[in-house]
Homo-oligomer: A and B are copies of this chain.
Amino acid sequence: MNIHSNQKTLSALGNSGSKREQIIDATIRLISEYGFHGTPVSMIAQEAGVGAGTIYRYFKDKDSLVLEIFAQVNRDFQSTMLDQYDARQPIRDRFFHLCRGIFQYGIENPHKFKFMEQFYNSPYGTTLRREKLFCNCDDSSQELSLEQLFSKGQAQQLIKDIPLATLIAHSVGPIVFLVKDSIAGLIHLDESTIDSSLTACWDAIRVRSQQSDILEP
């Protein structure tokens, strides 16, 4: 359409980002809905308002398009989670902060969220997880944040002494589940629902003590 007109200023420098962004956005939207194999490149081109060939000026092929987007979205997600994260806060508060971050990101970026889900439920995802586990090259990933948190919590006898994977599953699993339902329009995630879920997450992994909450540094 009239894309050209209002970008004369940008085009001087590396305006090349514009089309690229359009393509990326369209891909996220479509793949989040129809999945990788369910969205032809032609459809991406149309949704992006771009010629089919243009896509190949910015990305080697469909595969690397998706791979690049995933890396980008993943960074985006992690930085949301770690935004305003203060490692000096009590364990419980930090746990709430990180988990609330998942809710927030999913609600604010439904397409990106579903895109990541699609990705994880594909042949790509499996290999990626494997790599993540076996070589911890990624420094400040979400899982690592939770991992450190859990170790410390266990040392302080605040968090159950059960396998790390179980702790992660009971933190991330329910939230992903709820966000998916929310995106599907099956439920509405208001503040109180989110709070009750976060409390449930915490109750699942915390050590059962009689007095509970109040006595934490």
**Shortest Cβ distance from A5 into chain B, in angstroms?**
34
User: Which residues A185-217 have CB closer than 8 A to chain B?
Assistant: 185-187, 193, 196-197, 200-201, 203-206, 208, 210, 212
List 24 A–B pairs whose Cβ atoms lie within 8 Å, in order of A's numbering: A118-B121, A126-B184, A129-B184, A130-B186, A162-B197, A163-B187, A165-B186, A165-B193, A166-B174, A166-B196, A169-B175, A169-B177, A169-B197, A170-B174, A170-B197, A170-B200, A173-B173, A173-B175, A173-B176, A176-B177, A200-B204, A200-B205, A201-B204, A203-B203
A10 CB within 8 Å of chain B = no
The DSSP consensus for interface residues of chain A is helix
A144 within 8 A of B: no
* Copies in the assembly, this chain: 2
Residue A133, interface by CB 8 Å: yes
**Hey, which chain B residues are within 8 Å of A48, CB to CB?**
none
**Apart from A36-B37, A165-B186, what 6 extra A-B contacts exist at CB < 8 Å?**
A35-B122, A36-B38, A160-B200, A173-B175, A203-B203, A210-B210
